Structure 1
Amino acid sequence: MSVSGWGRSIGRVFGRDTERRVIVAALFARPPGAAWLPALRRGLDHDRLLRLARDYGVAAVLCQRLAALQWQHELGVETWARLQAEDEQNRLQNLVLLADLGETTALLRAAGIPALALKGSALLATVYAEGLERHTDDIDLLLPADAVARAAALLHAAGYREYAPPVLGPDGALTRNDDALRARDPHARHPSLLFGPRHTRIELHRHTDFGAGDEAQGVPEAVWQRARTVTTRLGQAVNVPAEDDLLANLCCHVLRQHRREPRYRLRHLVDVDTLLGRADPAALAAMAALRGSCGPVEQSWALHEALAEALAARSETRAGARTELRGLVARLMAPDPPAWLSHLRHGLAPAGQGLRPAWRALLPRRDYMAWRYGRPGVRGLRLALLHLLRWSGLGPGRPPQ
């Protein structure tokens, strides 16, 4: 391995992350404020840049943003050609997805079943309709809870096939998960998973989170009343939520349901940036009103503002540009851990499970702490630290009993 190769490897282990900083800067910088982007090219690993962009689902967006910034020449001919190929493949995949979306909603509409496109499919039909740059894996459709079974039967009769996530068999091969099909809960969030006519995965939802309370209570009637009909790139009519409902659903999905999966956050912030940037004043005011009532929207909006401020107040020096982006990337996503650390963590997991009963016996739950800390109880290192603070007289609350 060359000296520069060793430098890149050591830098990734100890936190130097040029590739992520380039991706973040290119996605959120605005011309001419991105004049310092070439300052980040030193030590740039082009293969890792492409891999990270694919992993985070932003390769196509990155290609179009870099072209808008006229920075493609910094990547070299080969890397830029590979990124353009990603963009073209993503565009074709999205056209196929939109075709299945329009055909599916037309079938349901003809049967008198209302359907709302959610998440990525709704974004492709609205704010990404021109460039089709948003990477979307499947179609999410929200239906009335009492119409899901009828819709699934209708689509089965039209030739749609039921989908079950594959499982790894004992021989190491992926097999059809028939047990998952038999055990599927009819009251789950999406009890029906189907393959469309063009092999697009379709999820039929009976309820989803719009930030209005308990998701299990169902979708608020106001969401259906505020829904609008848009025309897709292929000229098909599709129903989508209002801009503020769409924003709330996106934020709750990423920051609640996928809160332990930081790889979705970067694409989510791009979606928020695109929604806010292309909204009219009335829609922008409706989305801003959600900040005080929906925690995930507030978190997403605050991080979006932090990105804008950091990139607008960037330093003119190379070192300053790197420093400004380092903290931003750390907030956006967790860095890839070294391979040896992952192996060590998985190797110690069984031992940790065995020691858990002894640890809980040594430091049991103390429900009396709920009145002070607003939670049913704490345990482990946090409990030990709180005990120590109270024993020393530095912390609030009565001493442990």
Structure 2
Amino acid sequence: MEPTPDQPSAEFRLVCAACRWPRAAGDVAVREAASVPGIDWDRVARIIRRHRVWGLAADAFRSAGIALPLTLDKRLSERAGQIARQNLSAAAETRRLGGILDAAGIDWITFKGLPLAIQGYGTLAVKSANDIDILVAADDAAPAAALLREAGYQRFSPGPEISDDQVAAWMQVSKESGWRHPANGLIVELHSRLLQNPGLLPEAALSAPRKRIAIARGIEVPTMGDELMFPYLFAHGAHHGWFRLKWLADLNAMLVADPAGPEARYREAKALGVGRCAAQGLLLAHEMLGLDLPPALVKELRADRAHRRLVNVAKACLGGKFEDVEHASPTARTMLPVLAAGLLLRRGLGYKLSELGALAANPVDRASGRLPKGLAFLYPVLGGVRWSRRMLGRGK
């Protein structure tokens, strides 16, 4: 039977069990899920790959004593080793790049990735961190990009349609640019803001309270403080429809390790206007990863129709026909429901207008100065046309 968002496959439930944290609690769930007759281990591997949870799965199956097919067991061991080595390499590179930014007088923090791995899991061995996320002030985006070039990085996002001298204009409209080092393969995402639509969480800024985290021996980096970390994680996952299980697993691990507890983090997020984002993330983690929530809080969260709608949208992105298939195109990613749900993430007309503006921001044309200066007000219209064509599969 084809899995549905509300009736996931046994294989998807097994991978969800492997993503539970702490590990002691996850062991019981993994053994129970793995005991279901007829588990398709090839499908398990595809789900793990699709959701980028190789390290968590390897750790979970080893801890629970699950006998795996040799091919999958070898693959898990190889990927777990790669994750640990890559994360250590990324930690050293973060220190190098941080030193370069400090020497240039550029304020910065790093977030998600390695700081999240240490805070949530206490190790760099289980969380896959594909890139180094660095946030700088908007005015420092251009000089920071130039420093990345000098450090050996090559820009891949935006692509060649944007010249080097147009990157600053690009980052006034788009929240990030992507850079890859040809020698070590490491990727840096240089951010000038944390969310594409700053109206979702205006407090998410470089000026927010921060702390320092030791991500490896002798390597301490600045990152966002808890006052921003949890609202940001809720908002980031919600804005992307939580389409990757890895993000939910990281949120779950952070909440389990947090002394304040999930309910306190929900109240804080609600006070900042992203209570719906928090409700969605908490309910998903509760249902899929066994996050312990007070029954009264679960009842409160489920009583809101908008919360239920957001949970259903995320389940459709995480599971169903997309359990083991990577989202290959805007339409395949169920983007229309996600984008529509994006308008529900925060109350108020102002937020909804800023969300529509972010969707039609059109950074390519703005950065390249396609329209004459007097017609700049038409960029959102042009961007909306381009977006509509992409949704219909008729162009870029």
Q: Which residue of 2 aligns with 1:228?
A: 211
Q: Tell me the equivalent position of 1:188.
A: 173
Tell me if 1:112 matches 2:105: yes
Within 1, Cα distance between the matches of 2:268 and 2:75? 41
Residue in structure 2 matched with residue 278 of structure 1 by the alignment: 257
**Greater C-alpha Rg:** 1
Distance in 1 separating the partners of 2:206 and 2:225: 13
Corresponding residue for 1:65?
Answer: 60
List aligned pairs for 1:2-401, cutoff 5 A: 11=2, 17-28=9-20, 30=25, 33-34=28-29, 36-40=32-36, 42-68=37-63, 70-73=64-67, 75-157=68-150, 159-165=151-157, 177-181=159-163, 184=167, 185-190=170-175, 192-196=177-181, 198-209=184-195, 213=199, 219-220=204-205, 223=208, 226-256=209-239, 258-259=240-241, 263-264=243-244, 266-281=245-260, 285=264, 288-291=267-270, 293-294=273-274, 295-307=276-288, 330=315, 333-336=318-321
Native 8 Å contact 1:251 1:296 kept in 2: yes
Please state how far the C-alpha of 1:219 moved relative to its aligned partner.
Answer: 4.5
Aligned-partner residue type, residue 49 of structure 1: V
Higher relative contact order (CA 8 A, sep 6+): 2
Deviation of residue 51 (structure 1)? 1.6
Tell me which amino acid in the other structure corresponds to 1:120: G
Deviation at 1:61, TM superposition (A): 0.7
> Residue deviations 1:159-180, cap 9 Å, x none?
33331259xxxxxxxxxx4224
Alpha-carbon shift at residue 121 of structure 1 (Å)? 3.7
Letter of the 1:204 partner, please give it: L
1-structure distance, mates of 2:58, 2:44 = 12
Change (3 A) 1:221 1:76: closer
Name 2:371's counterpart in structure 1: none
Deviation at residue 133 of structure 1 after TM alignment = 1.2
- The answer to whether the 8 Å contact 2:200/2:235 transfers is no
Alpha-carbon distance between aligned partners in 2 of 1:287 and 1:102, rounded to the nearest angstrom:
33
Tell me the matched-pair count.
300
Is contact 2:175–2:191 with CA below 8 Å preserved after alignment?
yes
Partners in 2 of 1:188 and 1:26 — Cα distance?
39
Shift of 1:205: 1.0
Aligned counterparts of 1:310 and 1:247: Cα–Cα separation in 2: 15
Q: Displacement, 1:309? A: 5.6
* Separation in structure 2 between the aligned mates of residue 247 and residue 63 of structure 1, nearest angstrom: 27
Shift of 1:194: 2.4
- Secondary structure at the counterpart of residue 156 of structure 2: coil
Using the TM superposition, give the Cα deviation of residue 214 of structure 1 relative to its aligned residue in structure 2, in angstroms: 5.1
Determine the C-alpha separation between the residues in 2 that align with 1:303 and 1:212.
24
Pick closer, same or farther for the CA change 1:47–1:282 going to 2, 3 Å: closer
Give secondary structure in 1 for the equivalent of 2:129.
coil
Cα distance change, pair 241–44 in 1 and its aligned pair in 2 (3 A): same
CA distance in 2, matches of 1:298, 1:46: 33
Instruction: Check 1:26–1:198 CA distance in 2 against 1; reply closer, same or farther (3 A cut).
Output: closer
CA deviation after TM superposition for structure 1 residue 310, in Å:
9.0
Question: Residue 161 of structure 2: SS of its match in structure 1?
Answer: helix
Cα 1:220/1:86, change in 2 over 3 Å: closer
For the 8 Å contact 2:157–2:177, the answer to whether it is kept is no
CA 1:181–1:251: 2 relative to 1, 3 Å:
farther
Shift of 1:280: 2.9
Segments of structure 2 that go 5 or more residues without pairing to the other structure are 294-311, 332-351, 354-396
Structure 1: distance between partners of 2:323 and 2:143: 49
Identity, in percent, stands at 20
Partners of 2:136 and 2:190 within 8 A in 1: yes
- Partners of 2:57 and 2:118 lie apart in 1 by 20
Q: Please provide the CA RMSD for this pair.
A: 3.9
Distance change >3 Å, CA 287–CA 331, structure 1 → 2: same
C-alpha distance after superposition, 1:198-252 (max 9, x if no partner): 331112111123998456x6844651xx201122214212101012412222222
Q: Could you say if the C-alpha distance between residues 31 and 270 of structure 1 is closer, same or farther in structure 2, counting changes exceeding 3 Å?
A: closer
